[in-house]
């Protein structure tokens, strides 16, 4: 018998926990806040207000609430919210009825329209950070750092959410804290976005624009660095301008009703400081969706004594991640600036915040590595196994739904219809097993596959995943030649 497989004959039985995959941890916060305050608290201290994607997660959230011995409220905030439509925001609380003695509960949702209502909070903590960050203490320009990361890892660091930002900061603990490159750089072209979109307030069909028709005709990107938008106080028309110019501004406040949602700030600031002020004291810089709203903003701003122009929340974002990720997460220190001086690349600074730096500066940098990597070579199962062990860690073992989700994401780019996994069948005892010697508690077989009585002639059977479609597992002879997925790091 091949020594590679000797250890598997010692399996006898295993105890598996039967539970659907729950990718989030829920944390109850016993402080009374309105929905916006609760959202800000969760984003600052955890990941976000609780998201519930399926009934299993609903049960887990109820289980979290069920441990409370003195529930102070009959409802708690969760992270569901209607869009910017109609007469106001619909905020969702979850009604809870908790019997402390027996710890049973009922769960439902209640539609509330009062943004100022105070309630307790459930925060969601993401358990899934698919990247490992690696600090490289070698000083290189941004493009050389990018090449190094692509050659030795996956790419320069991409950060998609606050949970990943915390993981990156943890990687930097006890490291020299000069600025360090991440994978964000300004491209040649961008798109116009509302400031509110960065906070989850995005409305489909965002087409209204009120650019000045001339002279000058806007937007004109005069000087090549006009990325923020203001409104002329003599006409209500819009213009693009450098973000560090100083104007008054208009904030949007979701907690107020009707026209009172628009708040004129008669203090002059640059666009980023105006944005920060609005986010701290209200909701955000104002979005303008139609001519009626444009007129309301114009009316409350036109008598400004400090400026003949006012900031609105539109800006041009052409910052792009090195790996072409579509992540819109940003963690700027005070907003990028000095584009005209060539400061087109992003670095993380001592407090974890980002700033833009000239790309030819020589800085240390942060790479990331995906836990899984698709190898687009057509090899037999044994050849794929040898490749993964020689170049990475191993063929991937899929012993949870979380890892299955990772596999689904990477396998859809395969050049073959099936992709090898680290799954193998042994004929003598007659069972399937993973290479990392974990029992098969989680299974995702396609119909008719994964039975105990596999046909072992003329070669052993091994497991592959469908690259597309249902992306379930299938049984194949090991001498087929397929793409395969390697595990790149353990832990």
Q: Do 46 and 145 belong together in one domain?
A: no
Q: Do 107 and 191 belong together in one domain?
A: no
Q: Which of 370, 393, 421 is the last residue of a domain?
A: 370
Confirm whether 11 is domain-assigned.
no
Q: Which domain holds residue 75?
A: 24-126
Q: How confident is the model at residue 82 (pLDDT cuts 50, 70, 90)?
A: low
Average pLDDT over residues 38-44: 75
In sequence order, what are the residues at sequence separation of 6 or more whose Cβ sits closer than 8 angstroms to the Cβ of residue 290?
208
Q: How confident is the model at residue 457 (pLDDT cuts 50, 70, 90)?
A: confident
Q: Do 455 and 434 belong together in one domain?
A: yes
Confirm whether 12 is domain-assigned.
no
Q: How confident is the model at residue 446 (pLDDT cuts 50, 70, 90)?
A: very high
Q: Do 199 and 109 belong together in one domain?
A: no
Q: Do 64 and 189 belong together in one domain?
A: no
Q: Do 340 and 388 belong together in one domain?
A: no
Confirm whether 44 is domain-assigned.
yes
Confirm whether 8 is domain-assigned.
no
Q: Do 475 and 462 belong together in one domain?
A: yes
pLDDT at 144 over 90: yes
Asked whether the beta carbons of 179 and 65 are under 8 A apart, the reply is no
pLDDT of res. 249:
96
A 10 A CB-CB count for 86 gives 9
Average pLDDT over residues 320-326: 85
pLDDT of res. 310:
96
In sequence order, what are the residues at sequence separation of 6 or more whose Cβ sits closer than 8 angstroms to the Cβ of residue 466?
411, 417, 418, 419, 446, 472, 473, 474
Average pLDDT over residues 315-328: 83
pLDDT at 129 over 60: no
Q: Do 281 and 402 belong together in one domain?
A: no
Q: Do 288 and 350 belong together in one domain?
A: yes
**Is residue 334 helix, strand or coil?**
coil
Q: Do 212 and 111 belong together in one domain?
A: no
pTM reported for the whole predicted model = 0.53
Q: Which of 370, 405, 426 is the last residue of a domain?
A: 370
pLDDT in tens, 212-236: 998 899 999 888 778 899 999 989 9
What is the percent of the chain with per-residue pLDDT over 90, rounded to a whole number?
36
Q: Which of 308, 338, 370 is the last residue of a domain?
A: 370
- Specify the number of domains making up the chain: 3
Q: Do 232 and 327 belong together in one domain?
A: yes
> Measured between alpha carbons, how far is residue 476 from residues 18, 319, 441, 459 in Å?
27, 45, 21, 10
Q: What is the rounded average pLDDT for all residues in the chain? A: 79
Residue 45's domain is classified under what CATH number?
Answer: 3.10.100.10
pLDDT in tens, 372-412: 889 999 999 999 999 999 999 999 999 888 788 889 888 98
Q: Do 117 and 156 belong together in one domain?
A: no
A 10 A CB-CB count for 201 gives 19
pLDDT of res. 245:
93
Confirm whether 228 is domain-assigned.
yes
């Amino acid at each position: 018998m091949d020594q590679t497989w000797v250890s598997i004959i010692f399996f006898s039985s295993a105890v598996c926990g039967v539970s659907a995959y729950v990718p989030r941890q829920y944390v109850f916060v016993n402080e009374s806040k309105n929905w916006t305050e609760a959202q800000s608290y969760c984003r600052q201290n955890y990941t976000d207000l609780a998201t519930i994607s399926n009934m299993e997660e609903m049960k887990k959230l109820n289980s979290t609430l069920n441990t409370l011995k003195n529930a102070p409220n009959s409802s708690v905030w969760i992270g569901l919210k209607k869009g910017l439509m109609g007469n106001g925001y619909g905020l969702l609380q979850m009604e809870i009825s908790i019997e402390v003695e027996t710890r049973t509960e009922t769960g439902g949702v209640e539609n509330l329209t009062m943004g100022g209502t105070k309630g307790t909070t459930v925060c969601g903590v993401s358990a899934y950070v698919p990247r490992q960050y690696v600090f490289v203490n070698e000083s290189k320009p941004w493009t050389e750092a990018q090449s190094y990361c692509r050659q030795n890892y996956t790419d320069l660091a991409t950060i998609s959410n606050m949970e990943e930002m915390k993981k990156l900061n943890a990687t930097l603990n006890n490291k020299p804290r000069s600025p360090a490159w991440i994978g964000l750089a300004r491209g040649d072209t961008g798109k116009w976005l509302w400031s509110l979109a960065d906070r989850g307030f995005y409305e489909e069909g965002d087409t209204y624009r009120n650019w000045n028709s001339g002279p000058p005709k806007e937007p004109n990107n005069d000087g090549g660095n006009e990325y923020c938008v203001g409104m002329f106080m003599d006409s209500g028309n819009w213009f693009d301008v450098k973000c560090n110019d100083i104007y008054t501004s208009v904030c949007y406040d979701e907690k107020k009703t009707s026209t009172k949602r628009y708040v004129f700030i008669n203090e002059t600031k640059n666009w980023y400081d105006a944005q920060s002020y609005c986010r701290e004291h209200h909701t955000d810089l104002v979005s303008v969706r139609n001519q009626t709203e444009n007129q309301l903003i114009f009316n409350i701003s036109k008598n400004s004594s400090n400026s003949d122009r006012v900031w609105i929340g539109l800006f041009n974002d052409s910052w792009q991640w090195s790996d072409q990720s579509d992540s819109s997460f940003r963690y700027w220190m005070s907003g990028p600036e000095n584009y005209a001086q060539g400061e087109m690349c992003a670095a993380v600074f001592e407090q974890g915040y980002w700033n833009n730096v000239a790309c030819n500066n020589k800085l240390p940098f942060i790479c990331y590595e995906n836990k899984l990597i698709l190898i687009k070579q057509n090899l037999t199962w044994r050849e794929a196994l040898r490749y993964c062990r020689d170049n990475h860690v191993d063929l991937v073992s899929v012993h949870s739904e979380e890892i299955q989700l990772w596999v689904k994401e990477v396998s859809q780019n395969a050049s073959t219809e099936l992709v090898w996994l680290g799954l193998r069948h042994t004929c003598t005892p007659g069972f399937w097993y993973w290479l990392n010697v974990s029992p098969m508690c989680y299974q995702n077989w396609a119909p008719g596959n994964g039975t105990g009585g596999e046909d072992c002639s003329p070669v052993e059977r091994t497991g592959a995943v469908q690259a597309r479609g249902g992306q379930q597992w299938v049984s194949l002879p090991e001498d087929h030649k397929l793409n395969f997925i390697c595990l790149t790091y353990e832990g």
